[in-house]
Amino acid sequence: MSWLLEALAALGAGQRLMMGAMLFAGAFYLLKAVKVGKLVGDVLSSGAAYAIVLAVGAGLAIALGWIDPNVSRMTSQLSTGASAVWDAIGELVVDATIGRLTE
């Protein structure tokens, strides 16, 4: 970017033109960031809407007796799954984090 400013200065472009060009470029990148932020917000709001629908549906199914959840079995399975994931990648994550902190 500095080569562009040097080229404009060599051509005799005034400070106002250079400042305007920099503000234009800043506005362009800000617009791009806002578009990315809007996309992320849309994805998160869609995910929240699906989660709400799923929770309401599950609540109705449990209330009507269609599903009989066994909470102790679900928590033990969740604990087993989390333990398996931690055993598989936990040490790698800890080592990578410590390695980055010591650099």
Give the pTM.
0.47
CB of 26 closer than 8 Å to CB of 34: no
**What tokens appear for 82 in the block?**
């989390």
Calculate the CA 50 to chain-centre distance.
18
Choice among 14-18, 63-67, 72-76, 83-87 with the minimum mean pLDDT: 14-18
Which tens digit of pLDDT belongs to each residue from 82-103? 999 888 888 888 888 888 887 7
Which tens digit of pLDDT belongs to each residue from 11-52? 766 677 777 878 888 899 999 999 999 999 999 999 999 999
Give the residue extent of every domain in the chain.
Answer: 70-103
pLDDT at 102: 79
Phi, psi (degrees; rounded to nearest 5) at 11 = -80, -5
DSSP 66: S
